[in-house]
Amino acid sequence: MAVTYEPVNTTTLTSAAASVTFSSIPATYTDLYLVAQMQNTGSLQRIDLRFNSDSGSNYSVTRVYGSGSTAVSDRFANASGIDIAYVATSGWCIANHSIMNYANTTTYKSIVGRWNSEGNSGYTVGLVGLWRSTAAITSIALIPAGVNFASGSTFTLYGIKAA
């Protein structure tokens, strides 16, 4: 089997950080895959993902989530980022997200992902998101709302090579 996932960058925090950014992403892959293992330094908070430092109302996300006995869905349009996870200080949150066709300059960019969090009542969440821009993605920022990522949090961005 051909190796198609290639690590672009990995960051493991040695101290608390207000954000994590992958910059200068090469346009040599077909897609990107983001893996994050996170905790934060405060109460339960969402993690926003932004492309190319865009904090405008150019993002949408639809989520479905449940804890085994309850299932809920919601949708947010015209958001300032895609909330890719909710993270607490108790337990770890594991998030995996595919970013398709990121280097294309003629279409909007989509993301499909899932995450679960020990500190969020055991929820498992699936989501689809959209960045309404035709710009190629050259940087990705993960920003916790109102808290910091905790030391030990690890983030890896993979490039997916054409098979």
> Of all residues in the chain, what percent carry a pLDDT higher than 70?
94
Report the domain count for the chain.
1
Per-residue pLDDT tens digits for 78-108: 999 999 988 877 778 899 999 999 999 999 9
Range of the domain at 105: 5-74+83-160
C-alpha neighbours within 13 Å on the C-beta side of residue 58: 16
pLDDT confidence of residue 124: 86
pLDDT band for position 120 (cuts 50, 70, 90)? low
Pairing of strands 31-38, 154-160: antiparallel
Is there a contact between 79 and 56 (Cβ–Cβ < 8 Å)?
A: no
Q: How far is CA 92 from the centre of its chain?
A: 15
Tell which wins on pLDDT, 1 or 26. Answer: 26
Q: Average pLDDT, whole number, for the chain?
A: 91
Residues 55 and 67: their CA atoms lie apart, in Å, by 31
pLDDT confidence of residue 163: 65
Residues 112 and 126: their CA atoms lie apart, in Å, by 8
- CATH number, domain at 18? 2.60.120
pLDDT band for position 1 (cuts 50, 70, 90)? very low
Residues 56 and 135: their CA atoms lie apart, in Å, by 14
pLDDT confidence of residue 2: 57
Is there a contact between 151 and 15 (Cβ–Cβ < 8 Å)?
A: yes
